[in-house]
Amino acid sequence: MKHVLIVDDSLTMRRMVKISLRTVKELAFEEANNGLEALERLALTSVDLMILDLNMPDMHGIEVLRFVRGHQTFNYIPVIVLTTRGDESSRHDTLKAGASRYLTKPFEPKLLAQQVQELLYS
| 15-71 pLDDT, tens digit each | 999 999 999 999 999 999 999 999 999 999 999 999 999 999 889 999 999 999 999
pLDDT of residue 116: 98
pTM over 0.85: yes
Per-residue pLDDT of 76-86, as tens digits, reads: 999 999 999 99
Mean pLDDT on 99-119:
97
Q: Taking the CB of residue 14, how many other CB atoms lie within 10 A of it?
A: 19
8 Å CB contact between 56 and 13? no
Q: Coil, helix or strand for 115?
A: helix
Is the predicted pLDDT of residue 122 greater than 90, yes or no? no
Element (H, E) at 34: none
Q: CA nearest 68: which of 1, 3, 2, 5?
A: 5
8 Å CB contact between 107 and 84? no
* Domains detected in the chain: 2-121 (3.40.50.2300)
Q: CA nearest 52: which of 76, 81, 74?
A: 81
